[in-house]
Amino acid sequence: MYLSRYFRFCVQQSSHFLRRESCVQQKYSTAAVQPKVDSSFVGALKSVVGDTNVSTADAIREQHGHDESHHAVSMPDVVVFAESVDHVSKVSMLCNDNKVPLIPFGSGTGLEGGVNALQGGVCLDLSKIDQIVKVNADDFDCVVQPGVMRQALNSYLRDTGLWFPIDPGADASVCGMCATSASGTNAVKYGTMRENVLNLQVVLPDGRVIDTAGRGRRTKKTSAGYNLTNLFLGSEGTLGTITEATIRLYGIPEKTISAVCHFEEVSDAVNTVVSILQCGIPMAKLEFLDDTAIAAFNRFSKYDMTEAQTLFLEFHGPAYGLDDQFQSVKELVEMNNGFGLKQASDTDERNRLWKARHEMVWACTALIQGSKPYSTDVCVPITNLPEIVTKTKEMVKEANVLGPIVGHVGDGNFHIFFPVDHSDKETFKKVYDISHRMALLAMDLNGTCTGEHGIGMGKRDLLIAEVGEETLGAMKQIKATFDPNNIMNPGKVFF
Site for its own copies in 416-455 (CB under 8 A): 443, 446-455
Q: How far apart are CA 431 and CA 73, in angstroms?
A: 19
- Using rule CB under 8 A, residue 208 touches its own copies: yes
Pick left, alpha or beta for residue 486 (phi over 0 → left; psi -120 to 50 → alpha; otherwise beta): left
Q: Which of 172, 463, 487, 488 binds its own copies (CB under 8 A)?
A: 463
User: Which one of 42-50, 276-284, 396-404, 421-429 is the stretch in contact with its own copies (CB under 8 A)?
Assistant: 276-284
Could you tell me the smallest distance in angstroms from the CB atom of residue 49 to its own copies? 22
Which residues within the stretch 228-257 sit at the binding site for its own copies (CB under 8 A)? 228, 230-231, 233-235, 239, 250-251, 253-254
92: Cβ contacts below 8 Å, ≥ 6 apart: 102, 203, 204, 205, 206, 207, 241
**Cα angle value 480/484/489 (rounded, 5°):** 85
Contact between 213 and 156 under an 8 Å Cβ cutoff? The reply is no
CB of 235 to its own copies, least distance (A): 6
Piece in contact with its own copies (CB under 8 A), picked from 54-62, 179-187, 344-352, 399-407: 179-187
Residue closer to its own copies by CB (options 198, 401) is 198
Query: Site for its own copies (CB under 8 A): which residue of 96, 116, 181, 336?
Result: 181
The 3-state DSSP class for residue 406 equals strand
Binding status of residue 212 toward its own copies by CB under 8 A? yes
**Residue 168 CB partners (closer than 8 Å, separation 6+):** 109, 150, 177, 182, 183, 184, 452
The minimum distance between CB 459 and its own copies, in angstroms, equals 7
Q: Does 277 engage in binding with its own copies (CB under 8 A)?
A: yes
Q: Helices 39-49 and 85-98, interaxial angle, to 10°?
A: 160
Closest-CA residue to 257 (of 288, 285, 289): 285
Indicate whether 159 belongs to the interface with its own copies (CB under 8 A): no
Among 131, 151, 351, 477, the residue binding its own copies under the rule CB under 8 A is 477
339 is a contact residue toward its own copies (CB under 8 A)? no
Choice between 61 and 408, CB closer to its own copies: 408
Q: Which is nearer to its own copies, 84 or 219 (CB)?
A: 219
CA-based R_g, the chain, Å = 23
- The amino acid that residue 332 corresponds to is L
Give the shortest CB-402-to-its own copies separation in angstroms. Answer: 25
CA atoms within 13 A on the CB side of 271: 14
Number of shown-chain residues binding its own copies (CB under 8 A): 100
* Closest distance of CB 340 from its own copies, Å: 25
The answer for residues whose C-beta is within 8 angstroms of residue 66's C-beta and 6 or more apart is 72, 73, 74, 108, 113, 115, 116
Nearer to its own copies, 77 or 141 (CB): 141
Asked whether the beta carbons of 188 and 285 are under 8 A apart, the reply is yes
Distance between CA atoms of 148 and 452, rounded to whole angstroms? 20
Q: Does 223 bind its own copies (CB under 8 A)?
A: yes
For the chain, helix (H) and strand (E) counts, in that order, are 17, 18
Instruction: Kindly give the pairing relationship between strand 102-105 and strand 122-125.
Output: parallel
Among the listed ranges 152-160, 297-305, 340-348, 458-466, the one in contact with its own copies (CB under 8 A) is: 458-466
Which of 51, 58, 97, 324 contacts its own copies by CB under 8 A?
324
Determine contact, residues 197/233, Cβ cutoff 8 Å: yes
Task: Give the span between the Cα atoms of 219 and 12, in whole angstroms.
Answer: 48
Note whether 25 binds its own copies by CB under 8 A: no
Of 313, 309, 300, 359, whose CA–CA distance to 338 is shortest?
309
**Cα 232 from Cα 209, distance rounded (Å):** 13
Distance, in Å, from the CA atom of 227 to the CA atom of 407, rounded to the nearest integer, reads 30
Q: Which stretch binds its own copies (CB under 8 A): 30-38, 302-310, 364-372, 468-476?
A: 468-476
How many other C-beta atoms can be found within 10 angstroms of the C-beta atom of residue 471? 13
**CB of residue 388 to its own copies, shortest distance in Å:** 12
Instruction: Give the residue, chosen from 4, 25, 34, 219, that forms a contact with its own copies under the rule CB under 8 A.
Output: 219
To its own copies, the closest distance from the beta carbon of 289 in angstroms equals 20
Which is closer to its own copies, CB of 292 or CB of 325? 325
| In the complex, least distance from residue 490 CB atom to its own copies, rounded to whole angstroms | 16
Q: Which of 115, 209, 293, 305 binds its own copies (CB under 8 A)?
A: 209
- Taking CB under 8 A as the binding criterion, the range among 92-100, 119-127, 189-197, 388-396 that sits at the site for its own copies is 189-197
Asked if residue 331 binds its own copies (CB under 8 A), the reply is no
- Which residue type sits at 198? L
The helix (run of H) or strand (run of E) holding residue 224 is none
The answer for residues whose C-beta is within 8 angstroms of residue 344's C-beta and 6 or more apart is 257, 258, 259, 260, 350, 353
First to last CA, the chain: 23
Residues of span 383-402 touching its own copies by CB under 8 A:
383
Residue 381 within binding range of its own copies, rule CB under 8 A = yes
* Least distance (Å) between residue 72 CB and its own copies: 22
Binder of its own copies out of 63, 222, 337, 343 (CB under 8 A): 222
Q: How far is the CB of 421 from its own copies (least distance, A)?
A: 28
Find the binder of its own copies among 23, 210, 341, 366 (CB under 8 A): 210
